[in-house]
Structure 1
Amino acid sequence: MAKDVARRPEVESLRAADGDRHAIAEQLKAALDEGRLSLAEYDERVRDAYAARTYADLLVIVADLPKPGLSAAEVKARQAAEARRAARRLPLALMVLWTIWGALGAVNLMVWALVAATVEDDVYLWPVWLLVPGVALAVTTVGVQTIRRQGRRR
């Protein structure tokens, strides 16, 4: 429940149901059992959970807690994996450029193949010239990713 709501801020203003409050109370119980909360803090948070009116009120109560059953090492490992995925993700502009280049390459190869199939003479492989902008795009991509990686290390 909490993960789905966290992705859609407009839902946070909706009223929470008793089942939602109970699910948060169960998450708090698991955190108490794992030693993440003291008994006093658990009591306070459970009281706040059952008094919560909206999803936003509920999410604040468990915002600093990992999912039940996760150790601190697992949480750190997941955060590190997410950071690595974000670092590998291409910027939108480069994704658009690669998509355009790929579409142009596919169209050129198809046209060349149709021409080569219908003409009796050998046909010059003109789509090979698309490698020039492809190499330039690859170099740019590597440069951008390198700069982004160096920026994250600082």
Structure 2
Amino acid sequence: MAAAPEMRASDGDRDRVAAALREHVAEGRLTIDEFNERLEQVYQSRTYGELAKLTSDLPEIDLHRLPAASESVRRPHPARRDEKTRGSLKGAWSAWAAASAVSWMIWLLTMVTSGHMIPPWPMWVMGPWGVILLINTVSGRGGQSRRDT
């Protein structure tokens, strides 16, 4: 039985129209400003007729069967994951090298200005961090955490 336009709409009905409007924004049929205006009107609407007016110029969207293209956008491709891992490794090694360089410069300046030999403490900064990075690089895990695998 089709709902009469003067019949009162429920919160669920308003939520379904809001979800459809979000899909139309994602498809490029509505601008953000148009979406915001219509969304405000959605939650002020009281009847099915008022809700229908907000989407009358838009095609129907079945929210239970969204386009397959949206699914492929959400799933990462394996090749992209490899690129991401390489980028994570490169960033991690760059951070290690920068921190090591700064540590060695501080050690060198401290040793020169104090005038006596100071034990090379930067090795304690570089060593454990570098070993962990090396293990991750060799094992191929890169910047992935346990939750990502």
TM-score, reference length from structure 1: 0.38
- Who wins on radius of gyration, i.e. which is larger? 2
> Greater helix percent: which structure?
1
